[in-house]
Amino acid sequence: MQTEYLSPTPDGIAAAATLLQNGKVVAIPTETVYGLAADALDPDAVTAIFAAKGRPMDNPLIVHIADIDDWPPLVKSIPDKAKKLAEAFWPGPLTIILPAANRIPLQTRGGLETVAVRFPADPIAQAVILHTGRPLAAPSANRSGAPSPTNATRVKEDMDGRIAAVLDGGESHVGVESTVIDMAHEPPRLLRPGGVTPEMIENVIGPIEIDPAVTHAMKTGDVAASPGMKYKHYAPKAQVYLVKGTAEQYIAYVNSHADKGVAALCFDEDAAFLQVISVSYGHRNDALEQAHRVFDALRQLDEQGATTVYAASPCPKGVGLAVYNRMIRAAAFRVINTIRVIGLTGPTGAGKSSVAALWSKAGIPVIDADAVAREVVQNDPECIRALTEVFTPSILNADGRPDRVALAKAAFATPQATEALNKITHPIITEKICRQLEDFADAGFPLAILDAPLLFESGTDRLCDEIVAVTAPVDVRLDRIKQRDGLDTERAMQRIHAQPSDEFYNRPHVNRLINDAQTLEQFEQKAAALLAEKGWL
């Protein structure tokens, strides 16, 4: 097939419209990215889009309109909240999903009961739709899995010879695809972040849900709310790793991995400090610019011949959430977190919690591993399912959550039972801790504290760059436990004996903080001094 290249003149637009009326596929500019358009109500024309893209047929298309009156005939009905969103954000980068009218071909909606509709703001896109006189189905104009094109040259790279025409409208203004919100769901659910942010939407219609797949890999067995989520996406040929951390940590990481074929996808301010080939995608604090440049930057990395790309992670807030969503998929969810983790451990009564509180006051974020463990056992559906399978439903309360006493009785009955408990809970707890560490890195913290009494026993010591063990002579601990928990000497001693001895913490690379000072004040001075000495502030 010979692909025609059209200019956005009245003639070019008329030519594109004629091709579309004849069931052909034409790439058109929109304010988000270029779209591969065809008559949304013509099953054969829509099938040709899937063929040109190499897209799986179960991944539905967005239907584009250029007149608000063309919306009602495409859907069963329009609830109030959806109307409000359209009033606030159309024309613009927002796609609204509602139950589909019967006239929408199954091909267009990937066999689903719903249809996604968008009214683009780009005047050329609007002119083409109006001239054609039909709603136009249009996915992004890339080959399936590749970064979306934001100019006609990039469309040509993927589509030359595969479609009837490309209408060249210059650079797409937003740069990432529209925000997709499912209004057939209550509360409304954000399936794909874009130029219209969750905050902007909530200001108009109140609380919405963000689908977990926006920021995290789906687990095997999860059903995709949006079929597009389950496919590999936005990926250049190189293996991309998303590197989280401060600018200094990112630069240090890349420079210490400057092997052959390594390239950096960095922020503008990082480029001068990197010892590898780099492509930048905007200033660190300018999410709009990052959105505008990210897809082209991903394509440039291929042109540079990169085989491994370390990408500086964008802050997932506002429009940055859209950039993050594309980058984490380009990286196939491979994340490297360079935040420094200080493990804080020690037996009960030694003063570990005082140290955590003190360091937290100094501005270092703290993860309380015990709190994470409690939360997982009480609320994580995967964990509750596995525990019920091993320890029988007798451990559950009437509300379907584990009863702490019953679970403890079952799980600590034999060493084998305890091992089974740990095998279920430890991986889930570790995953949750890693997520919190990622959130801290996203928020710009250079280091975090992991407060974990069972740091070594749970294997979470492996997450730590440094470890501090707080211990104290038995008499000091005895006093503290008696006072803190209101126990008599015998019970307090029982607790102490149930815990590891001081020798347990004598390990290479463990910094010892011994609480044998006379007053709390003196001990706190010691803890503060360690912080300063290590340069952790």
The first and second tokens of residue 330, run together, are 């380009």
Kind and range of the H or E element at 408? Answer: helix 404-411
Q: What angle do CA 508, 511, 516 make, to 5 degrees?
A: 125
Where on the chain is the footprint of ligand TXA (CB under 6 A)?
A: 30, 32-33, 35, 59-62, 93, 95, 97, 109, 112, 114-116, 118, 120, 138-140, 177-178, 180, 191, 226-228
3-class DSSP assignment, residue 428: helix
CA 506 remoteness from chain centre = 39
**Which of Mg ion, ligand TXA, none sits in contact with 62, Cβ below 5 to 8 A by type?**
ligand TXA
The first and second tokens of residue 437, run together, are 């560490």
Q: Which is nearer to Mg ion, 140 or 460 (CB)?
A: 140
Cβ at position 241, least distance to Mg ion in Å: 22
The first and second tokens of residue 222, run together, are 């999860």
The site that binds Mg ion (CB under 5 A) totals a number of residues, namely 1
Which residue sits closest to Mg ion, CB atoms considered?
140
Cβ at position 148, least distance to Mg ion in Å: 5
Residues 84-143 that bind Mg ion (CB under 5 A): 140
Q: Which is nearer to ligand TXA, 56 or 400 (CB)?
A: 56
| Cβ proximity of 313 and 215 under 8 Å | no
Please name the amino acid found at residue 63.
Answer: V
Handedness of CA 209, 212, 213, 219 (dihedral sign): negative
**Which of ligand TXA, Mg ion, none sits in contact with 191, Cβ below 5 to 8 A by type?**
ligand TXA
From start to end of 203-302, where are the E strands? 209-210, 239-244, 262-266, 277-280
**Which of ligand TXA, Mg ion, none sits in contact with 514, Cβ below 5 to 8 A by type?**
none
Q: How far apart are CA 26 and CA 451, in angstroms?
A: 57
Q: What is the DSSP letter of 349?
A: T
Q: Which is nearer to ligand TXA, 123 or 227 (CB)?
A: 227
**Which of ligand TXA, Mg ion, none sits in contact with 227, Cβ below 5 to 8 A by type?**
ligand TXA
**Which of ligand TXA, Mg ion, none sits in contact with 138, Cβ below 5 to 8 A by type?**
ligand TXA
| Cβ proximity of 176 and 194 under 8 Å | yes
Q: How far apart are CA 449 and CA 366, in angstroms?
A: 5
The first and second tokens of residue 519, run together, are 């007053």
Cβ at position 323, least distance to ligand TXA in Å: 14
Cβ at position 485, least distance to ligand TXA in Å: 53
Cβ at position 138, least distance to ligand TXA in Å: 5
Binding mask 134-173 for Mg ion (x = CB under 5 A): ------x---------------------------------
**Which of ligand TXA, Mg ion, none sits in contact with 316, Cβ below 5 to 8 A by type?**
none
Cβ at position 132, least distance to ligand TXA in Å: 15
Q: Which is nearer to ligand TXA, 134 or 340 (CB)?
A: 134
Q: Which is nearer to Mg ion, 57 or 78 (CB)?
A: 57
Query: String of b and e for 420-435 (b: at least 16 CB within 10 Å)?
Result: bbbebbbebbbebbbe
The owner of tokens 């063309």 is 70
Binding-site ranges for Mg ion (CB under 5 A): 140
